[in-house]
Structures are given as C-alpha cells and as structure tokens.
Chains A and B, each alone.
Chain A
Amino acid sequence: MGTFWMPEGASTMSGEVDSLFYLVYWISVVIFIGVVAAMAYFAIKYRRTRESYVPPIVHENRFLEAAMIFIPLILTMVVFTFGFKTYLKMNIAPPTAYTIEAVASQWKWDFTYPNGKQVTGELHVPEGKPVKVHSTSMDVLHSFFIPQFRVKQDVVPNRYSSVWFQATKVDSFDVFCTEYCGTSHSGMLAKVIVHKPEDFEAWLNAGDDRPLDVQGESLFKANSCNTCHSIDGSRIVGPTFKGLFGSSRTFADGTTRTADEDYLRQSIMQPGSEIVESYPNVMPASYGTTLRPDDVTKIIEYIKTLK
C-alpha cells in the first residue's frame, strides 16, 4: 500500500526506483542530522555568556577539510552510479515489448492498439509483459506519468518519444499529465488498467457493448469535457450540459438556435463557429480533428440524457 513517501509500486521498475530513493534518503537523513546536531551543539556550547569575550582563533584543520570534500564526493559518485544504471534500464525497452501508440492533445490521451482498436482515456495493458507506449502530441507539450510505475516521459509535437514498463499488479492506476498544457492541464487524466494476460486478449478483441449514452459518459470524462462542463447546472468554464438538449441557445452575436443534434455536433467539432452568449471562446478546436465521429455521436447521446 505504499510507504510514507512513495505510493504503492506496481511495475518491475518501482522496486528499483524505491531502493534508489531510500538510498539517497537515508544518506541525506544522516548528513542532515549530522549538520543540525553539530549546529545545535556548537550554538549551545559556545553561546555568548560574556559580552566582551573575544574567542581565540581556530586554526584550520587541513585533514578535516580534505575529508569534507572527499566523503561527499565518494557518496555522490555512488549515488550517481546507481541512478545512472536505473536510468539506462528505464530508457532501453526490451525488444519484445508490446507497443501501444499514444497521442496526447489538449486535454486527453488517445491510445491505439496493434489491431487498430482505439480507446480514449484508458490504457489497457497485460500484467507481466513489457509494454512500450510510443507517443506524440497533436498540439503542445504534455508529459506521461504513472506514479505507481515510476515512469514519466515528455510528449512532444512533431517527435516520437517512448516509455516502457512491465506491470506487476492487476489493478487500475492514474495517468497524469505533468507538463503544463493550459486550462484543463489538471483534468488531463487517464487510467491505466492492468489485466491478466488472458483477460487482456479478451478485452482487446471485444467490442464495447454498453449502451451508447453510457459509453458517451466515459468519453465525456476521458476527453476532459467535464473540466469545463458540469452536469449539475453549475457554471465552470463553459455552460452546463444539464437541460442543454432541446433548449434555446443565444449566441454572442445575438442570434438564437435550438440545441438539437446538429447543433451539438457543430459545437463540438467547430467550437468557435457559434459562441454561446457570455462565455469565452476557449473550447479547444482540436476536438474537430481528434474526436472520432462515432464518439461524438455517443457524447451527444449522453448529453441527451442530462435533463
């Protein structure tokens, strides 16, 4: 369940990173206590008792000075070497790794599997097999971070970067974006879902048979729509979806229109085309290129249910 410092570890790398952390940690604690103890001891022992007392000059101790340089030098080189070894392991994915393509955009993660299956906001992986996430960005910098796996990699437009891990627990964990990317940076989340290998195969080959509006609800969250649109009537950055379908909308230019399916599709695919009155034009235009048409349909089905 994790320690005071580190969250629970769930990849083959996590144990190694944690040992590294605790190595540095304990060396630091010992040095720190040494410094503070010396400081407290000197401060109290040599506190000023007579105002006019001028203490004798202390001659420098060359041996002590040399030790002060060499001991830290040796300690840091030890720490460096271990850090370096772990870093190399983290950098070089095993050639057999199962590769999943990831595309980051403001503010969602899209994953594509070798068989063409596409999922937004959920990264399904098999337990006990090395997985490589090969990623790029559609717009600005993002960063792919799974705390429980102790891996992180910046995701850069016009470039590919990759990160690999081997999950050791069947469970689900958070994926965070750790490179600042705008309004909903903190909403750019995904889940990594670890399956038993056979369950993973089954998942990979199965279609999603949940009702469209239920799938739409997942997409609403996976695409971070929920960071700007509420479903309870409150105003966040954008208008609430509660009671949206079928209502009459007024736009910044004074025109009005009924919120039917066409209107919803247009507002999602071309957010700048009609700006709802009193709201800023900040909804990302990138949805027009990164959302799949059938996903938009599912989201619309979901909006329809929000009476």
Chain B
Amino acid sequence: MSETVAVPASIDTSVPKNYLNHDKSIKSWLLTLDHKRIALLYLVTISIVFLVAGVLALLVRAELFTAGETLMKPDTYNQFFSLHGILMVFLFIVPSVPAIMGNFVMPMQLGAIDVAFPRLNLASYYIYLIGGVLVVTAILAGNIDTGWTFYTPYSARLGSSVIFMTLAVFIAGFSSILTGLNFIVTIHKMRAPGLTWNRLPLFVWSIYATSIVQVLATPVIGITMLLLLLEKTLQIGIFDPALGGDPILFQHFFWFYSHPAVYIMILPAFGIISDLMGVFSRHEVQGYKFVALSSVAIAFLGFLVWGHHMFVSGQSAISSIVFSLITYLIGIPTGVKVLNWVGTMYRGSVSFKTPMLYALSFLFLFTIGGLTGVALGVLGLDIHLHDTYFVVAHFHYVMMGGTVIAAIGGLHYWWPKITGKMYNETMGSIAAVLIFIGFNVTFFTQFVLGTKGMPRRYYDYQIQYEALHQISTVGSWILASGLFLVLFTFIHSLMKGKKAGSNPWGAATLEWTHTASPPSPHNFDEQPIVTHGPYDYHALARVSGDGAAQTSEPELSESRH
C-alpha cells in the first residue's frame, strides 16, 4: 500500500541521503555520534550475545534430554548454564531494548535530532563492549560455574575471579547508568514543541522509568564489588563465613540490585507492547495515564521487594511477610496494565501483522508469567516451589515470553524505519507462531517439573522426571527454529525486501509521521510540531486527508516545502 506514495524518486534519480548511506566508511560507523547508528552497533553486538547464549541454552537442554550423562561432563554443564545466565541477563536483556530501540526510536519519538549527549552515548557503547569482553574473559579464565547469582561462599572458592566478574558486570552496568542519564536528560529537555508529558508515546514513558532504575540500582553492584575486594585484601569478614562474615548478606546485596534489574528488563517491553497495541488496534491505548505512571511507580516499588527471593534463606519471618506484601502491591498495577492492553482492542480495528502477533503472544505468555509470579509470592507455597523448575519456568515466561517476545515484535515494527525495507509477512508470521509454540512446549513443561519437585541447576535427575525433560528439550528445538527463521526473515528483507513507505503501519508517532524510512541523518528536515496525542488516529486521518492507513506523506511533503 505504501508503494503508491513513493518518495519523489521519479523527479530526483539519485537515492535520497539517509543515515545509512550518507557516509559508508567503517570509521563513520565506529565513531558515529548518530543515535541511530549507535543503536545499530548495539543491535549487532547484542544479537551476537543472544546467539551465543541461546546456543548454550540449547546445549544445556540437550544434556538434559536423558538422565545421567548425555553430551557433557557435570563441570562443563555447570559452566554452560552459568554462562547462559550471565550472558543473557547482564549482556543481553538488561541492555537490549533500551540500548537498541531506546536509542533508535526514543529521540525520534521526541522529535529530537539526537540524544542530549551524543558523545556520552558512543562512550556507553564502548564501555558496554569492554564490559562484555571482560565478562567473557572472566568466565573463561575463572571457570565460573556459580550460576548468574554468584552466591558466596561457593563463589569465594573461585578466589579473585568472582571479584573480576563483578567488576566486569559493573563496567557493563556502568554503560547502563550513562545511557540512563542520557535518556533522562533527553526526555526532559529535548521534546518537540507541543509534546507535553501527556502526549509522550508510552514507549518513551517506559524508557524513562527504566532509566531511573538503571541510574539508581546499578551502583549497588559497584558497592558489592568493593566489599568483596575489601574482604579479600584486608581479610575482614563480610560475606565469607570462614572469616566470620555472613553469606546471606551477599544475597541481600545481590537482590537489592538484581530485583530492580528485573524491572530494567521488563519495563521497556511494556513500552513496546503499548505502542504495538495502539498502532495495530488503531486505537487510543486504554488507561494511558495509568499505564504511563504505573511504570514509574513500579520502578520505585521495585526497590522494596528484593527479599522475596530469599524466603527460605533463613531471613526473619517478619521480613518475609513484609516482602511478600509489597510484592503483591507491585503485581496489581502490572495486572491492570495487561487488562488495559487487552481493552485497547475493544472497538478498535485490529490488524494481525507480525508485530501484533508478537504483542498477542506477549499478552498470553506474560499473563502466565505474572500469575505464576503471584504463586511464588505466596509464602507457604514458595517454600515448596523455591529453587525448582517452577521458578525457572516463571522467569523465562517473564523474561523471554515477556521481554524477548516484545523486543522481537518491536524489531519487526521498527524494521521498515530502521532499514527502509519491508520484511516478508508470511515468513514473519510463521516464525512468530513457531516461537510461540516452541516456547510453550519448552517452558510450560517446566512448571510441571517444578511442582513435582525437580530442583534447578541439576546436571542429572531422577528417572521420573525424564519424560517431561524430553518434551522440554524438543520444545527448545522448535523455539530455536522459530528464532532462526526470524534471523532469516530479516536477512531476506535486507537483500530482497520491498521498499518501505515512511509510515507503513499508519502510526501516529513522530518517527513515522515526520520522517522518511530510513530517516535522514538528522532525523527531521524541519522541527516537528506536535498537535495531538501519540495514539490519536483521528487527528492523523485529518492531517493526511484520507484514511489513516494511507501513509502521511502528504503532510510530510507539506512540511518540507
């Protein structure tokens, strides 16, 4: 449909200059200050991390195909699942959506030419890269097999490698702090005229909330690292029981960062889903204010629930009770958001393009993730379920079924803007369905394994669990084939994709209405002026003269001349 309103190519035969082709040297990429190019640097790096960590997951699942030894020795297995967790959490999920889509889309949604501090933005990327290299060296050199939680005193046995590891994680985290700061300033200072807080796209709101958590929570890893270092060098007992320290204290520190980090991982996904539900239902997102502000509320409350990871650690019963209560308080706004997203379709005009398939998968999977989270928050029940596969399934439903599914949906949605090419809808939807099926086969079985008592991080298991493990492993193959199909769809689009119009989805936010696909190096040819809300498709239809499904090219050309 967008084909008809092509760029004035017939008049001007040269390809229009955009951020991808205006300078093609390697240096112009590696030293770019353009938020869009930096986003692509992140996209490539983070995808490689995802690939590696994903292959490790497949190996772990393959080992579990039969009880006893299947492929590898216990130590290898332990290192593989640790590596999988560390890479996925610290180098993949935490930076993924903010660094890639936050960087690419957020400034454009604000009508800004870039983030507030472009140089800092580039520095963040390199800091992330250094952190990443250090993490991998720490793991390989230190044979780290502690899982991603590094609990002392087991991790202390590894000597200095756990300190090295926390240092590496902290450096990677430092990049998040800088990105967070950068984004907060950008959102405060660089909104286009007319873009009031009430007109901010929900994606921007969620990136805003995420940035707050990144800035406030990440320093805690730094503190933990310092304490580990002091303990090691001065031999004062902090965490190590051999020196009179308290290993439980380490868990407090760890979760004081890592629980808020869970919100760093999920809030950006909420933002993507809000935008997708709005655009593909062509409807105002229900409860806009609630969805926006509850993200910020969740960001703050997220600091007060870390103890729900420690119900059986031996912490006092009173603390457990308080943590359980606050956990519920955080659960409710999250639940209301899900209802708002579903409600957005009510009397809308729902299109089943690939991004929407991911958004619907998200609602399905995230609801399961959320409800099982409530089950885990129930004190008497958590005792049985803690540290079993039930927990593994729960956080995969939230992290993968939530964040990763939303991220892939978002990537399909913004792909035409990023590359200027459409992807093949059929391939895209088949992949979405494969991922949905594979995901459920892999992880739903793990809920059953968990309630039946299968502990997590087990190399070997009792024979009664074997059938379920096999189903789960087969699921992981379906899931992997879906993910590879996504990769293939994107490569196919780069090579053979049809040209994308500036606004193929009929969206009403600035990155679609006021700039070409792909955008010019400075995003907008003219400062956009915002006159309506982010999901106001009536205003969009008025401006573009006819149906909103038409691209808003007419408006574009008007503002150009």
Chain A interface (Cβ within 8 Å of chain B)? 2, 4-7, 16-17, 20-21, 24-25, 28, 31-32, 35-36, 38-39, 42-43, 46-58, 60, 65, 68-69, 72-73, 76-77, 79-80, 82-91, 139-141, 143, 145, 147-148, 150-154, 156-159, 161, 174, 176-187, 227, 236-237, 282
Complex Cα distance, B347 from A4, in Å, reads: 39
Closest 10 CB pairs of A and B: A52-B547, A147-B453, A86-B380, A83-B378, A87-B379, A186-B458, A42-B345, A158-B241, A28-B371, A140-B154
Please determine whether A178 and B386 come into contact, CB atoms closer than 8 angstroms.
yes
Please determine whether B75 and A153 come into contact, CB atoms closer than 8 angstroms.
no
Chain B residue, CB-CB nearest to A47: B350
> B179 on the interface (CB 8 Å rule)?
no
Assuming A31-B371, A141-B154, A152-B383, is B455 touching A178 (CB within 8 A)?
yes
> B485 on the interface (CB 8 Å rule)?
no
Complex Cα distance, B352 from A174, in Å, reads: 49
Complex Cα distance, B347 from A73, in Å, reads: 28
> B342 on the interface (CB 8 Å rule)?
yes
Q: List 23 A-B contacts (CB under 8 A).
A: A17-B380, A17-B381, A42-B345, A43-B360, A47-B349, A51-B549, A54-B537, A54-B541, A56-B347, A60-B287, A76-B331, A82-B380, A91-B317, A143-B312, A145-B453, A151-B383, A153-B314, A157-B241, A159-B314, A182-B145, A236-B69, A236-B74, A237-B74
Assuming A6-B452, A69-B336, is B380 touching A141 (CB within 8 A)?
no
Please determine whether A182 and B346 come into contact, CB atoms closer than 8 angstroms.
no
Assuming A51-B547, A186-B458, is B350 touching A43 (CB within 8 A)?
yes
Complex Cα distance, B281 from A82, in Å, reads: 40
Q: Which residues of B408-463 are within 8 A (CB) of A?
A: 448, 451-453, 455-462
Chain B interface (Cβ within 8 Å of chain A)? 1, 69, 73-75, 78, 145-147, 149, 151, 153-154, 157, 241-242, 244, 246-248, 281-284, 286-287, 290, 312-314, 317, 320-321, 324-325, 328, 331-332, 335-336, 338-339, 342, 345-352, 360, 363-364, 367-368, 371-372, 374-375, 377-384, 386-388, 448, 451-453, 455-462, 537-538, 540-541, 546-550
Complex Cα distance, B340 from A69, in Å, reads: 11
Q: Given the complex, which residues of A lie within 8 Å of B456, measured CB to CB?
A: 178, 180
Please determine whether B328 and A80 come into contact, CB atoms closer than 8 angstroms.
yes
Please determine whether A153 and B332 come into contact, CB atoms closer than 8 angstroms.
no
Please determine whether B312 and A46 come into contact, CB atoms closer than 8 angstroms.
no
Q: Given the complex, which residues of A lie within 8 Å of B321, measured CB to CB?
A: 84, 87
Assuming A24-B375, A48-B349, is B380 touching A80 (CB within 8 A)?
no
Q: SS class of chain A's interface: helix, strand, loop or mixed?
A: mixed
Please determine whether A282 and B75 come into contact, CB atoms closer than 8 angstroms.
yes
Please determine whether A24 and B374 come into contact, CB atoms closer than 8 angstroms.
yes
Q: Given the complex, which residues of B lie within 8 Å of A73, measured CB to CB?
A: 332
- Nearest Cβ distance between residue B241 and chain A, in whole angstroms? 4
Chain B residue, CB-CB nearest to A85: B380
- Nearest Cβ distance between residue A284 and chain B, in whole angstroms? 10
Please determine whether B451 and A143 come into contact, CB atoms closer than 8 angstroms.
no
Complex Cα distance, B452 from A192, in Å, reads: 17
Chain B residue, CB-CB nearest to A77: B328
Complex Cα distance, B201 from A130, in Å, reads: 59
Please determine whether B78 and A183 come into contact, CB atoms closer than 8 angstroms.
yes
Q: Given the complex, which residues of A lie within 8 Å of B246, measured CB to CB?
A: 158
Q: A80-B328, A178-B456, A182-B145 are in contact. List 13 more A-B contacts (CB 8 A).
A: A20-B378, A46-B347, A52-B541, A57-B538, A68-B339, A69-B332, A72-B331, A76-B332, A158-B244, A186-B458, A186-B461, A187-B460, A237-B74
Complex Cα distance, B448 from A68, in Å, reads: 30
Chain A residue, CB-CB nearest to B325: A80
- Nearest Cβ distance between residue A121 and chain B, in whole angstroms? 15
Q: Given the complex, which residues of A lie within 8 Å of B383, measured CB to CB?
A: 17, 87, 90, 150-152
Q: Given the complex, which residues of A lie within 8 Å of B462, measured CB to CB?
A: 174
Complex Cα distance, B376 from A28, in Å, reads: 12
Please determine whether B348 and A46 come into contact, CB atoms closer than 8 angstroms.
yes
Q: Given the complex, which residues of B lie within 8 Å of A65, measured CB to CB?
A: 287, 290, 336
Chain B residue, CB-CB nearest to A59: B284
Please determine whether B332 and A39 come into contact, CB atoms closer than 8 angstroms.
no
Assuming A35-B363, A69-B332, A177-B455, is B320 touching A48 (CB within 8 A)?
no
Q: Given the complex, which residues of A lie within 8 Å of B348, measured CB to CB?
A: 42, 46, 55
- Nearest Cβ distance between residue B18 and chain A, in whole angstroms? 27
Q: Given the complex, which residues of A lie within 8 Å of B331, measured CB to CB?
A: 72, 76
- Nearest Cβ distance between residue B360 and chain A, in whole angstroms? 7
Assuming A154-B312, A181-B154, is B283 touching A39 (CB within 8 A)?
no
Complex Cα distance, B318 from A91, in Å, reads: 11
Please determine whether A140 and B153 come into contact, CB atoms closer than 8 angstroms.
yes
Please determine whether A24 and B346 come into contact, CB atoms closer than 8 angstroms.
no
Q: Point out which of A77, A80, A89 has the most chain B C-beta atoms below 10 A from its C-beta.
A: A80
Please determine whether A152 and B387 come into contact, CB atoms closer than 8 angstroms.
yes
Please determine whether B325 and A180 come into contact, CB atoms closer than 8 angstroms.
no
Q: Given the complex, which residues of B lie within 8 Å of A80, measured CB to CB?
A: 324-325, 328, 377-379
Please determine whether A54 and B378 come into contact, CB atoms closer than 8 angstroms.
no
Complex Cα distance, B452 from A148, in Å, reads: 9
Q: Point out which of B321, B381, B451, B462 has the most chain A C-beta atoms below 10 A from its C-beta.
A: B381
- Nearest Cβ distance between residue B33 and chain A, in whole angstroms? 39
Complex Cα distance, B348 from A42, in Å, reads: 8
Assuming A72-B332, A153-B314, is B338 touching A48 (CB within 8 A)?
no
Chain A residue, CB-CB nearest to B82: A180
Q: Given the complex, which residues of B lie within 8 Å of A77, measured CB to CB?
A: 328
Q: Given the complex, which residues of A lie within 8 Å of B372, measured CB to CB?
A: 28
- Nearest Cβ distance between residue A2 and chain B, in whole angstroms? 8
Q: Point out which of A21, A87, A88, A89 has the most chain B C-beta atoms below 10 A from its C-beta.
A: A87
- Nearest Cβ distance between residue A26 and chain B, in whole angstroms? 11
- Nearest Cβ distance between residue A25 and chain B, in whole angstroms? 7
Please determine whether A179 and B387 come into contact, CB atoms closer than 8 angstroms.
yes
Please determine whether A39 and B363 come into contact, CB atoms closer than 8 angstroms.
yes
Q: Given the complex, which residues of A lie within 8 Å of B313, measured CB to CB?
A: 154, 156
Please determine whether A5 and B448 come into contact, CB atoms closer than 8 angstroms.
yes
Question: Residue A60 contacts which of B242, B286, B342, B377 (CB distance < 8 angstroms)?
Answer: B286
Please determine whether B549 and A52 come into contact, CB atoms closer than 8 angstroms.
yes
Q: Given the complex, which residues of A lie within 8 Å of B541, measured CB to CB?
A: 52, 54
Q: Given the complex, which residues of B lie within 8 Å of A43, measured CB to CB?
A: 345, 350, 352, 360
Assuming A60-B287, A88-B317, is B538 touching A35 (CB within 8 A)?
no
Q: Given the complex, which residues of B lie within 8 Å of A28, measured CB to CB?
A: 371-372, 374-375
Complex Cα distance, B146 from A143, in Å, reads: 15
Please determine whether A24 and B378 come into contact, CB atoms closer than 8 angstroms.
yes
Q: Given the complex, which residues of B lie within 8 Å of A54, measured CB to CB?
A: 282, 349, 537-538, 540-541, 547-548
Chain A residue, CB-CB nearest to B156: A140
Q: Given the complex, which residues of B lie within 8 Å of A154, measured CB to CB?
A: 312-314
- Nearest Cβ distance between residue B150 and chain A, in whole angstroms? 10
Complex Cα distance, B283 from A240, in Å, reads: 68
